[in-house]
């Protein structure tokens, strides 16, 4: 204990100098390493000249570090060196540390930042030291550069890390296998998983070999490329040129080529049309939940878990800091913008991440639109927005989903349901089925509490079948809106699977309407019952691409819980005009 001793806690200035290095380390410190593990980025939308490079940077961030900008030549190519530091006289954690310790701890926080930008063969590349990477605007990073290189260099039998995003699932999964694993063992769904980052051991390739042998090179590719690069300027430039050559000339490994299957939309007119569709979607107060979901930008994955506060700035208003990011707040701000300006406002808006609740220690930021995952169908084509860019899902992917759901549409439905007058509504149909078809129970407008959501109770099903099947009934004008029905089925099942109280309440609702089921009831089958008021027959081809993907995904999830799925199209009792 320190009590009773002539001990005085030293005052600590906000800025401290490091102690002199130990004698036995002096040689190590003086030696310049030939290579260093770095992340290299390729920039897009930047004119490959020094003035263009400087103009593309965020002036506010440069001012924040009192940046000094030095144009020079590195390794024989034009370069720009930017350096400064992020300084806080009192660290963001100092007050809390002082409170806990019961003594003043007035430490500052000073983080150096160096960013080197290189113009090489018509492209601009960036490498950061310290916090230098924070000076690169997210929207300037080529999000395909690192991945494109990785699928051409990595050994598919020795993959050590993978980050993927499930289409339409608003979910990002990260897999680590330190010893290395064959790509096929990672359980990737080639047509539904979008690979955002992959790393492992390179095959027959090294950038900087040491004398006496070639140790296998480790490489990770996503938005940028992480590997050991030369420290000397001429070595770094040589490394970059070799990577550029590989991207331009080498084919992807056949086992990894699927990662490039989903292609970006390049046509200006198509991108403008997709933006216009999204702008309209953002203006709708309801009805778009199945098309817009939350996403974490690839560039923010590393800092997301460390963030303790988020600030959303869309339009002229910056919201108060939040401990967690809610996509509803971004959508609400977008909805308040003028029609035709919503998407552009999201592209210029930002979401800021901070390491502390007082928002003093900035971690990262990205355009607000990058925090959304959006799916839009135009005719038979399906597009999705990821990291702020539009991508097209190839025909092979759409066909694979159609094949998956074909078995859900039986030539002879398992349940005999009557034809129906489409001029009447779903309530009447539910009541008529319960009255005229033995074994069917009308549970329309009976609810249970949903423990997974704060949005209110869940209607588990419209009708309970004779074998206790959950029947979901929908009479839409066209098949475009069926994705929402399919998602409702998944929510109903997940509610029953996850909540004993929900199961008990559902059993009580069934008993009230004359059906005895146990309090721990879990369905064995879900049936989607659909009549298209347009007059078209319901088939896998009738469904819009997004509905096909949604149905295929839900059927897979439910089958994993040993729950069968069927889709039954109701025939109209009167002839309807065919509408394309």
pLDDT(257) > 90: no
Of the spans 103-112, 245-254, 461-470, 531-540, which averages the highest pLDDT? Answer: 461-470
Phi, psi of 195 (to 5 degrees): -80, 125
pLDDT(340) > 70: yes
Domain count, the chain: 3
The token pair at 562 is 């040993």
Whether 114 contacts 128, CB under 8 Å: yes
Spell out a b/e string for 270-284, using b for 16 or more CB atoms within 10 Å of the CB, else e: eeebbbebbbebbbe
Quick: pLDDT tens for 125-170: 999 999 999 999 888 888 889 999 999 999 998 999 888 876 655 5
pLDDT(6) > 60: no
The rounded percent of the chain whose pLDDT value lies above 70 is 85
Lowest-pLDDT range of 10-14, 475-479, 529-533, 576-580: 10-14
pLDDT(383) > 90: no
C-alpha distances in angstroms, 27 versus 20, 22, 24, 303? 13, 10, 7, 35
Q: Is residue 5 situated within a structural domain?
A: no
Is the domain of 457 the same as that of 551? yes
**What pLDDT sits at residue 211?**
40
Is the domain of 238 the same as that of 133? yes
Length of the chain: 580
Which of 227, 244, 260 is the last residue in one of the domains?
260
Gap between the Cα atoms of 334 and 338, Å rounded: 9
Whether 544 contacts 484, CB under 8 Å: no
Q: Is residue 7 situated within a structural domain?
A: no
Is the domain of 167 the same as that of 133? yes
Domain hosting 532: range is: 398-569
Q: Which residue in this structure is represented by tokens 């997004």?
A: 546
Gap between the Cα atoms of 144 and 221, Å rounded: 9
Is the domain of 137 the same as that of 33? yes
The token pair at 460 is 């588990």
Gap between the Cα atoms of 271 and 275, Å rounded: 6
Q: Is residue 96 situated within a structural domain?
A: yes
Is the domain of 251 the same as that of 362? no
Spell out a b/e string for 446-480, using b for 16 or more CB atoms within 10 Å of the CB, else e: bebebeeeeeeebbbbbbbbeebbbbbbbbbeebe
How, if at all, do strands 77-88 and 441-442 pair?
unpaired
Which of 333, 368, 393 is the last residue in one of the domains?
393
Strand partners, 276: none
pLDDT(49) > 70: yes
C-alpha distances in angstroms, 320 versus 87, 325, 347, 370? 23, 11, 20, 20
**What pLDDT sits at residue 321?**
94
**What pLDDT sits at residue 18?**
39
Quick: pLDDT tens for 553-570: 889 889 989 999 999 999
Q: Is residue 477 situated within a structural domain?
A: yes
Band of residue 288 on the pLDDT scale cut at 50, 70, 90: low
The rounded percent of the chain whose pLDDT value lies above 90 is 47
Written in H, E and C, the secondary structure of 251-298 is CCCCCCHHHHCCEECCCHHHHHHHHHHHHHHHCCCCCCCCCEEECCCH
Closest CA to 79 of 54, 56, 62: 54
Is the domain of 240 the same as that of 301? no
Q: Is residue 176 situated within a structural domain?
A: yes
Q: Is residue 386 situated within a structural domain?
A: yes
Tell me what the mean pLDDT of segment 438-463 comes to. Answer: 85
Band of residue 97 on the pLDDT scale cut at 50, 70, 90: very high
Is the domain of 52 the same as that of 122? yes
Whether 115 contacts 82, CB under 8 Å: yes
Gap between the Cα atoms of 258 and 90, Å rounded: 49
Is the domain of 369 the same as that of 283? yes
The token pair at 402 is 């159609």
Q: At what angle do helices 482-498 and 500-512 cross, to 10 degrees?
A: 110
Is the domain of 298 the same as that of 386? yes
How buried is 248 (Cβ within 10 angstroms: 0-12 exposed, 13-18 middle, 19+ buried)? Answer: exposed
Of the spans 370-384, 482-496, 498-512, which averages the highest pLDDT? Answer: 498-512
Is the domain of 278 the same as that of 170? no
Band of residue 392 on the pLDDT scale cut at 50, 70, 90: confident
Q: Is residue 192 situated within a structural domain?
A: yes
**What pLDDT sits at residue 578?**
52
Starting from the edge strand earliest in sequence, which strands make up the sheet with 218-221, in order?
Answer: 68-74, 77-88, 109-120, 123-130, 35-43, 225-230, 218-221, 193-202, 154-166, 171-181
Higher pLDDT, 484 or 520: 520
What own/partner pairs with CB < 8 Å and gap ≥ 24 does 90-95 have? Answer: 90/14, 91/361, 92/354, 92/355, 92/356, 92/358, 92/360, 92/361, 93/356, 93/361
**What pLDDT sits at residue 547?**
74
Q: Is residue 3 situated within a structural domain?
A: no
Gap between the Cα atoms of 493 and 460, Å rounded: 8
Gap between the Cα atoms of 401 and 178, Å rounded: 33
Tell me what the mean pLDDT of segment 516-544 comes to. Answer: 88
Outline where DSSP puts E strands in 65-142: 68-74, 77-88, 109-120, 123-130
Q: Where do the H-state alpha helices sit in 102-175?
A: 145-153
Tell me what the mean pLDDT of segment 459-469 comes to. Answer: 97
Task: Indicate the DSSP class of residue 8.
Answer: -
Closest CA to 481 of 401, 531, 543: 543
Question: Which secondary structure element, helix H or strand E, spans residue 353, and what is its range?
Answer: strand 350-354
Is the domain of 248 the same as that of 288? no
The token pair at 38 is 């770095």
Closest CA to 271 of 406, 139, 391, 97: 391
Starting from the edge strand earliest in sequence, which strands make up the sheet with 564-569, in order?
Answer: 441-442, 463-464, 470-474, 525-530, 564-569
Tell me what the mean pLDDT of segment 314-336 comes to. Answer: 91
Is the domain of 122 the same as that of 192? yes
Which of 360, 393, 426 is the last residue in one of the domains?
393
pTM for this one?
Answer: 0.60
pLDDT(262) > 80: no
């Amino acid at each position: 204990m320190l009590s009773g001793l002539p001990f005085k806690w030293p005052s600590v200035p906000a800025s401290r100098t490091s102690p002199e290095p130990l004698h036995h380390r002096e040689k190590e410190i003086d030696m310049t390493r030939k290579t260093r593990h770095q992340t290299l980025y390729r920039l897009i939308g930047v004119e490959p000249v020094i003035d263009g490079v400087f103009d593309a940077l965020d002036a506010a961030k440069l001012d924040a570090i009192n940046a000094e900008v030095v144009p020079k030549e590195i390794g024989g190519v034009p370069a720009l060196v930017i350096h400064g530091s992020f300084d806080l006289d009192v660290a963001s954690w100092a007050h809390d540390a002082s409170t806990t310790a019961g003594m003043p701890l007035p430490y500052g926080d000073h983080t150096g930042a160096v960013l080197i930008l290189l113009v090489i063969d018509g492209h601009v590349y960036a490498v950061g030291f310290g916090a230098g990477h924070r000076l690169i605007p997210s929207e300037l990073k080529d999000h395909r550069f690192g991945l494109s290189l990785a699928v051409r260099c990595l050994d598919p039998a020795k993959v050590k890390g993978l980050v993927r995003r499930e289409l339409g699932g608003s979910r990002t999964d990260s897999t680590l296998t330190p010893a290395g694993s064959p790509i096929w063992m990672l359980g990737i769904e080639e047509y539904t998983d979008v690979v955002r980052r992959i790393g492992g051991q390179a095959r027959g390739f090294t950038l900087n070999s040491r004398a006496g042998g070639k140790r296998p090179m480790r490489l990770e590719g996503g938005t940028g490329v992480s590997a050991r690069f030369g420290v000397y300027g001429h070595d770094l430039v040589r490394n970059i040129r070799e990577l550029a050559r590989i991207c331009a000339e080498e084919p992807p490994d056949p086992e990894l080529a699927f990662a490039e299957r989903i292609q970006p939309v390049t046509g200006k007119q198509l991108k403008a049309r997709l933006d216009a569709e999204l702008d309209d979607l953002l203006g709708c107060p309801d009805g778009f939940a199945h098309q817009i979901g939350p996403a974490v930008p690839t560039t923010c994955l590393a800092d997301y878990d460390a963030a303790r506060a988020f600030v959303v700035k869309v339009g002229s208003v910056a919201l108060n800091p939040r401990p967690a990011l809610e996509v509803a707040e971004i959508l609400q701000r977008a909805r308040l913008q003028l029609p035709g300006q919503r998407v552009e406002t999201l592209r210029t808006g930002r979401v800021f991440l901070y390491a502390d609740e007082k928002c003093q220690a900035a971690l990262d930021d990205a355009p607000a639109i990058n925090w959304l995952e959006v799916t839009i169908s135009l005719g038979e084509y399906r597009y999705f927005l990821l990291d702020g860019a539009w991508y097209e899902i190839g025909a092979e992917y759409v066909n694979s989903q159609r094949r998956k759901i074909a078995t859900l549409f039986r030539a002879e439905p398992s349940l005999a349901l009557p034809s129906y007058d489409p001029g009447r509504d779903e309530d009447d149909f539910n009541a008529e089925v319960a009255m005229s078809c033995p074994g069917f129970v009308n549970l329309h407008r009976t609810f249970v509490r949903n423990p997974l959501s704060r949005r209110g109770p869940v209607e588990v099903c419209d009708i309970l079948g004779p074998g206790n099947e959950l029947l979901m009934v929908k009479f839409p004008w066209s098949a475009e809106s069926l994705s929402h029905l399919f998602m409702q089925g998944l929510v109903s099942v997940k509610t029953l699977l996850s909540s004993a109280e929900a199961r008990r309440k559902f059993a009580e609702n069934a008993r009230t309407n004359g059906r005895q089921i146990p309090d721990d009831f879990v369905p064995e089958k879900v049936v989607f019952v659909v009549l298209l008021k347009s007059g078209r027959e319901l088939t896998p081809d009738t469904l819009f691409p997004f509905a096909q993907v949604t149905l295929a995904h839900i059927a897979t999830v439910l089958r994993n819980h040993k729950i069968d799925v069927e889709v039954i199209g109701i025939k109209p009792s009167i002839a309807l005009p065919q509408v394309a």
